Amino acid sequence: MRLIKLAILSAVFFFLLLSAFTLLIPSHIRISRAIDISGKKSTALPYLQQLSHWPDWNAYARDSSGHFKITLTAVTDSLVTSKWKVGSKEFYSGLALYETREGTLTVQWYFDFHLKWYPWEKIGSIVYDRQMGQVMQESLINLKQLIESNP
């Protein structure tokens, strides 16, 4: 009986300690990548504003398994926001287009995650940047090649 009490108390203590530790992890996380592109804004806009062009450059939009459900939420000449759904999780993304100087565009792509207080969700978020960052950067390189090859 003592062993069972010790196991239960240890499990509760460990859960409370883990929960306290995860309070230090923010509940809002943004993963962001950016790239400079030589080109005109008018050439870049269709690739960003039209979801039908996303598979041309976006590795996530190419996913043929239907894993990602993407919905555009707002479209302007400098920002495209979208809602992504993977299973039961929803998160938001944005593609910002800046014309830093004549003939040079900067495209910033970001994902915003709003996490619940659950320790397993916050601990899992630690690896989001490593999981998504490389795919985001490769997609932006594809976008750069598309825009620069279509002047």
- Residue 22: inside a domain: no
Q: What is the CATH number of the domain that holds 90?
A: 3.30.530.20
pLDDT band at 36 (very low <50, low <70, confident <90, very high): very high
- Residue 43: inside a domain: yes
pLDDT band at 89 (very low <50, low <70, confident <90, very high): confident
pLDDT digits (tens, 9 = 90+) for 120-144: 777 777 777 788 889 999 999 999 9
pLDDT digits (tens, 9 = 90+) for 37-73: 998 888 889 999 998 899 999 988 887 666 778 889 9
Whether residue 22 is predicted with pLDDT greater than 70 in this model: the reply is no
- Residue 132: inside a domain: yes
Arithmetic mean of pLDDT, 84-99: 89
Percentage of residues in the chain having pLDDT higher than 90: 38
- Residue 3: inside a domain: no
CA atoms 115, 119, 121, 125: torsion sign = positive
Buried b (16+ CB within 10 A) or exposed e, 100-130: eeeeebebebbbebebeeebeebeebeebbe
Q: Helix or strand or coil: residue 92?
A: strand
Please state, in angstroms and rounded to a whole number, the distance separating the CA atoms of residues 73 and 84.
10
Range of the domain at 140: 27-149
Reported residue count of the chain is 151
- Residue 20: inside a domain: no
**Domain count along the chain:** 1
Looking at residue 61, the DSSP 8-state letter turns out to be T
- Residue 38: inside a domain: yes
Q: Helix or strand or coil: residue 123?
A: helix
Q: Helix or strand or coil: residue 37?
A: strand
- Residue 8: inside a domain: no
